[in-house]
Amino acid sequence: MGAPSQQSAMYLLPYPDEAELELGIRTNVPPLVNPWLYFKDRRTVAGIVARRDMFGAIAKGDVALGERLEKGIWRKQRKDGSWGGSIWKTAVALDGLVDLRVDAEGCRVREAVDWMLSQQDLARLFADHLFTFPPIDDGLPEKELRLPGGLRVRNRKCIVRIAALTLLRVCLRLGFEKLDRVQHHLLLATRVLSSPDHDDCADCRETVLLALSHHPVISRSGPVTATLNWLGTLQKSNGEWRGCDLYHTLYTIAHFPEPSARLQFQAALRALAERQNRDGSWGRGTYQEARTLAVTFAMHAFGLIQPDQPI
């Protein structure tokens, strides 16, 4: 296994190269435990992603593990292309397959995307900020939605909209942004960022950002930049964001190279150090892996984790 060096395996200084960050700001932040300690033996999709993409250290057996995990996901696909007859479950399954670098041109992938896009008029989810709750598939959770980054969504209004945004995000990750139906919903999602009607829901606006980060053009648009700056106005002195989930917000802003995102990440380091577990992880129970991957992704994106041995 190509692994981080012995010294870097234990601790990460908050600013390994202050000049590289070009922030000119120094804060007294305790060292962070390297999340490599948590991910080095994880036999999950998240474990593979962390080792491969963030640490540049493929474990022995990761290739075979990835193949087994991929087969396990495909095994649950229905003949109609869905997973469990649920838009949400299908989007989550495709998200995992993208992480495992499945061929986006495969017919089974396209069947799943076509099935999702044919299920309902998602325009109503974006256009009606009062949420009259259009019919949705029975597989959508009634009480809670779990998103990349470990965000828990319990508000029914947000569950409906964020499920649709997760569908849009996975379509963009797969490279289907040119499909007419996807382009239509891209326009509607962008309007969410520009509409004052949605200022009361930071989670929804964040999830729009996360979806649009996978579009090669819209991710650099004015509304996206403005929303990133708006998130900065919500950040408190302790580094957390008012009305937002710390881990999901970090995961979202890490998809953007904007100066505002880097400054917000720097300000959040103290909160991360205070919340980190001894094994290098964040969170507990069901959300531990997702939140740790979210933070590790952000640390890698902003230069705190440098692979010692490229793949």
Write the pLDDT tens digit of every residue in 29-81: 668 888 999 999 999 999 999 999 999 888 889 999 999 999 999 999 999 99
Q: How far apart are CA 264 and CA 257, in angstroms?
A: 12
pLDDT for the residue 196: 57
pLDDT for the residue 188: 76
pLDDT for the residue 87: 78
Residues composing the chain: 311
Classify residue 278 as left (phi > 0), alpha (psi -120 to 50) or beta. Answer: alpha
Cβ(291)–Cβ(282) under 8 Å?
Answer: yes
Q: Is residue 268 part of a domain?
A: yes
Q: Is residue 270 part of a domain?
A: yes
Q: Is residue 199 part of a domain?
A: no
Tokens of 64: 């075979």
The better pLDDT of the pair 225, 181 is held by 225
Confidence band of 193 (pLDDT split at 50, 70, 90): confident
pLDDT for the residue 99: 95
pLDDT for the residue 126: 44
pLDDT per residue as tens digits for the range 79-129: 999 998 887 788 889 999 999 999 988 999 999 999 988 875 554 544 433
Q: Is residue 74 part of a domain?
A: no
Q: How far apart are CA 130 and CA 120, in angstroms?
A: 18
Per-residue three-class SS string for the chain: CCCCCCCCCCEECCCCCHHHHCCCCCCCCCCEECCHHHHCCCCCHHHHHHHHHHCCCCCCCHHHHHHHHHHHHHHCECCCCCECCEHHHHHHHHHHHHHCCCCCCCHHHHHHHHHHHCCCCCHHHHHCCCCCCCCCCCCCCCCCEECCCCCEECCHHHHHHHHHHHHHHHHHHCCCCCCHHHHHHHHHHHHHHHCHHHCCCHHHHHHHHHHHCCCCCHHHCHHHHHHHHHHHHHECCCCCECCCCHHHHHHHHCCCCCHHHHHHHHHHHHHHHHHCCCCCCCCCHHHHHHHHHHHHHHHHHCCCCCCCCCC
pLDDT for the residue 131: 32
Confidence band of 158 (pLDDT split at 50, 70, 90): low
State the residue range of the domain holding 229. Answer: 1-42+221-311
Confidence band of 20 (pLDDT split at 50, 70, 90): very low
Domain count, the chain: 1
Q: 74 phi and psi, to 5 degrees?
A: -60, -35
pLDDT for the residue 310: 36
pLDDT for the residue 145: 46
pLDDT for the residue 157: 56
The better pLDDT of the pair 24, 168 is held by 168
Tokens of 47: 């474990």
Classify residue 81 as left (phi > 0), alpha (psi -120 to 50) or beta. Answer: left
Q: Is residue 192 part of a domain?
A: no
Whether 2 shows a pLDDT value over 70: the answer reads: no
pLDDT per residue as tens digits for the range 119-156: 755 545 444 333 333 333 434 444 444 545 444 444 55
pLDDT per residue as tens digits for the range 179-190: 888 887 788 788
pLDDT for the residue 28: 56
pLDDT per residue as tens digits for the range 21-36: 333 334 456 688 889 9
pLDDT for the residue 161: 64
**Maximum alpha-carbon separation in the chain:** 56
Nearest to 205 by CA among 218, 195, 220: 195
pLDDT for the residue 156: 52
Q: How far apart are CA 297 and CA 274, in angstroms?
A: 18
The better pLDDT of the pair 298, 245 is held by 298
Please name every residue paired with 241 in a beta bridge, in sequence order, or none if there are none. 235
Cβ(272)–Cβ(240) under 8 Å?
Answer: no
pLDDT for the residue 184: 78
pLDDT per residue as tens digits for the range 240-295: 998 888 998 999 999 998 899 999 999 999 899 999 999 999 998 888 999 999 99
Q: Is residue 103 part of a domain?
A: no
Nearest to 269 by CA among 250, 251, 245, 291: 250
Q: Is residue 129 part of a domain?
A: no
Q: Is residue 237 part of a domain?
A: yes
Q: How far apart are CA 161 and CA 103, in angstroms?
A: 28
